[in-house]
Structure 1
Amino acid sequence: MSQKLDRAEIKKVFDVFDYNGNGILSLAEIDRAVIELYPHLAKDKPAIMRAYKAADTSKDGFIDLNEFGRLIDLLHYYHELYKKFQQLDIDGDRRISYVEFKKGHDLMGIKGRSDKVLKAAFDEIDTNHGGYILFDEFCTYAAKTKMLEYPE
């Protein structure tokens, strides 16, 4: 959603998300609205969760109108990242093994083909050292390397 909405348009969409009309959005309301309004994003639960957490700048567990425009931008940003993540996650287990990483490392903009270079890159991204790249680790790497343009 590269096109910026004006404040009135943001308020109109916010009101659609705000099912109970209390002026703040819970994760459940966001999830429900995404399913109804953005069905192409609905299956990307990790992306929705990541956008929700990143947009909640007040850290109160809710998205208010001031945070809402950022939420919409982040939903689309993390959706794009999740699509890349899914391309790498060949077996669909929501984590990228080293074998999957080797097959698709070019999608992440990683140069080099030697096993040593690729293993070092994999280990750098796998910050919890679990032997797999998780979506959160993938997002951290993407932000650090500017894999996709992060919304302002």
Structure 2
Amino acid sequence: MPPKRSKEEIKKLFKSFDNGNGHLSLAEIDRAVTHYYPELGSNKKAIMRAYKAADNGGNGFIELKEFAKLIEVLGYYDDLSKKFAQFDKDGDHRITFNEFKKGFSLLSQDHLDDNYLKQEFNNIDTNGGGFILFDEFCMYMANRQHDADD
């Protein structure tokens, strides 16, 4: 996980990521993360999710004011990606109900019945596709964290 950095370090790191135009594209971020954080560089799902989370302006670029968040959430999404992979036993980048049921013990010590787990699965599967995708999993985990913090 990238360490906490001072404002000055963030500015310096931003300049090292930037191609000189004052904002970062996904390609610049991907290239720089691979270079500066090789342990995260192969995790494209985490990079994409961090990029989306940090783009507060919604313009498709990461500005300096958004960059600290990008660096902060890279490690978080890398951790979630690893947890997702523990559920996704067949490696097809989606979680079936059976995989969810088997993997739920990673999230909870409680033994929960199938009806509750099916309802939880359906709540996470926001697009109704019958699978939990990485973005859906991230939203679920963020909501769990938010609820735990309250």
Alignment TM-score > 0.5, same fold: yes
1:97-125 Cα deviation digits (max 9, x unpaired): 11111111122337433221211111111
Shift of residue 43 of structure 1?
2.1
5 Å-filtered alignment, 1:106-121, equals: 106-109=105-108, 111-121=110-120
Aligned: 1:127 with 2:108: no
Residues of 1 paired with 2:56 and 2:113: CA distance?
41
Shift of residue 64 of structure 1?
1.2
Distance change in 2, residues 1:111/1:130 (3 Å):
farther
8 Å CA contact retained: 2:95, 2:131:
yes
Shift of residue 4 of structure 1?
3.0
Shift of residue 75 of structure 1?
0.9
Q: Going by fraction, where is helix more abundant, 1 or 2? A: 2
> What amino acid does structure 2 have at the position aligned with 1:108?
L
8 Å CA contact retained: 2:2, 2:37:
no
Structure 1 residues 107-116 or 74-83, which shifts more?
107-116
> What amino acid does structure 1 have at the position aligned with 2:34?
I
5 Å-filtered alignment, 1:24-43, equals: 24-43=23-42
SS at match of 1:112: coil
Q: TM-score w.r.t. structure 1 length? A: 0.89
Residues of 2 paired with 1:110 and 1:142: CA distance?
16
Task: Give 1:74's aligned residue.
Answer: 73
After the TM superposition, list the runs of 4 or more consecutive aligned residues in structure 1 that deviate by more than 6 angstroms. none
Question: Identity rate of aligned residues, in percent?
Answer: 57
Task: Give 2:49's aligned residue.
Answer: 50
SS at match of 1:63: coil
Task: Give 1:62's aligned residue.
Answer: 61
